[in-house]
Amino acid sequence: MWEQLITSFIASATFAILFNAPKRTLFICGLVGMVGWIIYFELVSRHFDYVPATLIAAIAISVLCQIFAKLYKTPIIIYSVAGIIPLVPGGLAYDATRKFVENDYSLAVQLAAKALMISGSIAIGLIFSEVLMRITFRRSISSSKSN
Amino acid sequence: MITQTNSTYEIIDACLLAGKIMLENGAETTRVEDTMMRMAASFGIPQSHSFVTPTAIIFSLEGTDPTKLIRISERSTDLQKVDEVNSISRMASAREITLPETMKRLKQLEEAKGTYPMFIQVLAAAATSGCFLIMFQGQWQDFIPALISGGMGYLCAVLFQGLVQIKFFAEFLAAFVIGSLSVGFVAIGLGLDLDKIIIGSVMPLVPGVLITNAVRDLIAGHLVSGITKGTEALLTAFAIGSGIAVVFTLY
């Protein structure tokens, strides 16, 4: 558990460096990534399916991102990119590629479909929290974007 | 009358420059349009229209003034610059800085270099790879191999990008290097779990900003930009996948 907390924090913060996030945001980038990953990790280890686990984590991440973006007046994508990166189904996409190469198409398509479902649930999570914030704060999307 | 026209041109130039910097460095379409319109409004032009796609911006003011188009040929990711344009536009909206001052700051920002030097980014890519290996239940013995191949992969992606100017080819080659290095580490006994090392090492190449922007653009109704960015992300994923696949075929 500690191992997961620390590595997910470092991974998200260093990933933020790769796309030149401002230095003052790095700590929060790490924090958002860590919270999202721990939610996902705990749900999966409690035998949740990958797709709902990803969805819940993605919603939590982007609600956090909206709050931090408003608080520190920075563009929201800085936080949300760092936050969702641990959830990207890299492992599944990799397995799918490997099965394709090994001519095991039926398994490959299964894995690819699963990776697609997870990517979709990340997207839905991002959308859902945006709607949630809009209902809560009654502000239009364009005025929240200027933050 | 003459000064009036001049300043209209200057306003268009300032707005377009702000939009260009934002778009080139990975901002969402809505943010670019919004910033340009806010800046125009703060300099005294309440009505303006902009059409932003990932490859071009068309900006027009109400009335008989000319419409201008600006081509975006190179795109990279530097969110620091997006953040700075954002604060410049805030200052302009609050009337804290004048139009010439805004233009000066934007020009300085356009020529500014990246926030982090190259070696820091390579180190960051290495750290990302190592940490993702542990997050994906890899063993600590594989940490160093993932560190090295992830860092090398990212370095190759940047170098090849400068060399061949074709993003997908650079990513394909980087993935190939990662795959080959990982196979090598496992072959000489330094690495244990080949799959985990490769998954960790390719993570720095994942187009995170593109994926997030594609989703946000689609939600905001910018269908053209959203689909374009989604396709770019998909192509990148395909490039990484085929780079790794080639390694498997040879190995």
Q: How large is the average pLDDT for residues B209-232?
A: 87
Going from the C-alpha of B186 to that of each of B51, B203, B205, the distances in angstroms are 51, 19, 22
Confidence class for position B73, pLDDT limits 50, 70, 90 = confident
Count CA atoms closer than 13 A to A10's CA, side-chain side.
Answer: 18
ipTM of the complex as predicted: 0.85
pLDDT of residue B2: 44
Residue keyed to tokens 């796309």: A19
Are B203 and A145 inside 8 Å of each other by CB? no
Which residues in chain B are closer than 8 Å to A119, comparing Cβ atoms?
211
Q: What is the pLDDT of residues A46-57, one digit of tens each?
A: 988 999 999 999
In whole angstroms, what is the distance from residue A57 CA to residue A12 CA?
A: 15
A123–B215 C-beta distance less than 8 A:
yes
For every residue of B31-89, DSSP letters joined together read HHHHHHHHHHHHTT---EEEEEETTEEEEEESTTSPPEEEE-------HHHHHHHHHHH
Provide the 3-class DSSP secondary structure of residue A1. coil
**Average pLDDT for B63-67:** 78
Distance of CA B26 to the CA centre of its chain: 4
pLDDT higher for A147 or B124? B124
The token pair that represents A75 in the structure block: 């563009």
What is the average pLDDT across B111-134? 90
First to last CA, chain B: 73
Coil, helix or strand at residue A132: helix
Whole-angstrom Cα distance, residue A80 to residue A99? 31
Distance from CA of A94 to the nearest CA of B (A): 7
Q: DSSP 3-state assignment of B177? A: helix
Per-window interface: A 33-62 vs B, CB < 8 A: 37, 41
Q: Smallest Cβ distance to A77: which of B132, B199, B212?
A: B212
How far away is chain A from the Cα of B44, in angstroms, using its nearest Cα? 19
Residue A80 touches chain B, beta carbons under 8 Å: yes
Which residue in the set B79, B121, B125 is minimally distant from A78, CB to CB? B79
pLDDT at B45: 82
| pLDDT at residue B156, rounded to an integer | 93
Mean pLDDT, all residues of chain B: 87
**Do A64 and A85 meet the contact criterion of CB atoms below 8 Å apart?**
no
